Amino acid sequence: MDKAQILVASNRGPVSFSFGEGDALDYRRGGGGLVSGLSSVASSTDTMWVCAALSDADRAAAARSPEGRLDAAGFDLGGMRVRMLDIPPDTFTDAYTRVANSTLWFVHHMLYDTPNKPRFDAAFRSQWEGFRSYNAAFSEALLTGSADNARVAVQDYHLALVPRMLRQRRPDLRITHFSHTPWAPPEYFRMLPADIRRELLEGMLGADHLGFLSRRWADAFLRCCETFLRVEVDWTRRTVEFGGRVIRTGVHALGADAESLRERAAAADVEQWRARLRERVGDAELVVRVDRTELSKNIVRGLEAFRELLREHPEWRGRVTHLAFAYPSRGDVPEYRDYTEQVQRVAAEIDREFATADWSPLILEVQDDFARSLAAYRMADVLLVNPIRDGMNLVAKEGPVLSDDGCVLVLSSEAGAADELGEDAVLVNPYDVSETAQALRTALEMPADERRARCGRLVDSATALAPTPWFEAQLRALK
């Protein structure tokens, strides 16, 4: 097998499989910045993407092509190889569902209801072992698949231990780790057990370069290093010295992929959805949101803000409809299932309180339909993005890019995207339902000229760092 010069590692890969007719495997190329970013370098350099098999069909595909010749299956990823790891199910559950999604995600997004959770006990210790094994499986695949001096781009909190595992065995590798989430401040990170805090931070510091989506998250990481590892941070260069090496941090604020989004949003299925939705809502103004049903996205407070708008400003009843498209996510984590129910409950309450024979105040869909979401972006008068905390939030960037007639962005100050979009969005404190209701009203009442002008500036900021230069900047940081 040829060894790759550039390798990416992430839990979720660039492609997913499903069973087709007979023994055929159908595939779907994933979206997201990393896929477009890496696809663009893949044609000129030998590249490999290492990811986990996430379904039985993925596992079947991995078994057919253990060396990562999945690209030969016919999908176009610009020539890169994809190596899907068949992680034993129990190990995967411990690593992905328990440690990564039920613990690290909650810590970095500050989501715990602390009287009950977290609780670090013997069961957690055993899950942590699974997390280590999962990181070790990725490291093995990267070690085997990499050429001398290869560049390795490790993605996200799932794989925080990988950089150190690689460094210990292959000092020739040039390693970057990129965090797509926020990073918890030390005051919150300290709730993790001391040895686990250390293992996570030291794991990451195995890299040469650590990338973040916002200066806020990079600084929080450096403060954690100062607090828990007692190492010196150079705050001018934003580097940290550890194990005789200097590790650099960098901020790479991923932007929207305007070209491919616009192309996709012009397709016939999106047009059909646009017509269907318009027929359903008539000429009401549209407040749109599109999220995973994800606790950090703060969907419930968003719905409550919309309810407060209708209660406090009855003149808007009958004239505005809220389209809330929430696609299912992480259904194996109990908190996510409960949250989805809560979202549905509040939506039903709003409907009961305000709906009339010829007006729906709210259309909530908990179901994934990309074409429908794109249609909603195009039609939105107001786009509501109010996460409690978010690494970046690409909806805030993609929505304005696709808006047909200029939308107003109501945006949480706690999303990484607020760094670049804050001036032209209407910023809100995500916990403040009344402020969010007021922001929705301001947005709905904004004169059309101002709406369009602001939206134009949002598009400029949102597309400043497209996926290809974003990924190239990570690689350049390793030169």
Task: Please report whether residue 329 would count as binding ligand F6P according to CB under 6 A.
Answer: yes
Min. distance of Cβ 181 from ligand F6P in angstroms?
A: 5
Q: Which is nearer to ligand F6P, 208 or 294 (CB)?
A: 294
CA torsion sign, 287 to 371 to 10 to 119?
A: positive
Q: Is the Cβ–Cβ distance between 17 and 55 less than 8 Å?
A: yes
Min. distance of Cβ 235 from ligand F6P in angstroms?
A: 27
Min. distance of Cβ 329 from ligand F6P in angstroms?
A: 5
User: Site for ligand F6P (CB under 6 A): which residue of 16, 36, 181, 393?
Assistant: 181
Min. distance of Cβ 451 from ligand F6P in angstroms?
A: 29
Burial 310-346 (b: 16+ CB within 10 A, else e): beebeebeeebbbbbbbbebbeebebbeebbeebeeb
**Which residues sit opposite 241 in a β-bridge?**
246
Quote helix, strand, coil % in the chain, to nearest 5. 50, 20, 30
Min. distance of Cβ 99 from ligand F6P in angstroms?
A: 13
Measure the CA–CA gap between 94 and 219, rounded to whole angstroms: 29
Residue nearest to ligand F6P (CB): 180
Min. distance of Cβ 34 from ligand F6P in angstroms?
A: 9
Q: Hey, what are 48's tokens?
A: 């490999």
Task: Please report whether residue 156 would count as binding ligand F6P according to CB under 6 A.
Answer: yes
Min. distance of Cβ 279 from ligand F6P in angstroms?
A: 32
Give the sheet arrangement for strand 285-292, strand by strand.
Answer: 362-365, 320-327, 285-292, 382-385, 408-412, 426-428
Min. distance of Cβ 353 from ligand F6P in angstroms?
A: 33
Provide the Cα torsion 412, 418, 422, 425; round to 10°: -50
Q: Which is nearer to ligand F6P, 181 or 373 (CB)?
A: 181
Q: Which is nearer to ligand F6P, 12 or 216 (CB)?
A: 12
Q: Which is nearer to ligand F6P, 156 or 414 (CB)?
A: 156
User: Site for ligand F6P (CB under 6 A): which residue of 98, 132, 180, 454?
Assistant: 180
Task: Please report whether residue 12 would count as binding ligand F6P according to CB under 6 A.
Answer: yes
Neighbours of 81 (CB within 10 A): 23
Distances (CA, A) of 211 to 67, 239, 471: 29, 12, 10
Beta-sheet pairing, 4-9 with 47-52: parallel
Task: Please report whether residue 463 would count as binding ligand F6P according to CB under 6 A.
Answer: no
Per-residue mark of binding to ligand F6P, 362-401 (x: CB under 6 A):
-----------------------------x----------
Q: Which is nearer to ligand F6P, 12 or 215 (CB)?
A: 12
Distances (CA, A) of 259 to 265, 455, 456, 468: 10, 17, 16, 12
Task: Please report whether residue 330 would count as binding ligand F6P according to CB under 6 A.
Answer: yes
Q: Which is nearer to ligand F6P, 95 or 433 (CB)?
A: 95
Beta-sheet pairing, 320-327 with 285-292: parallel
Binding site for ligand F6P (CB under 6 A): 12, 156, 180-181, 329-330, 391
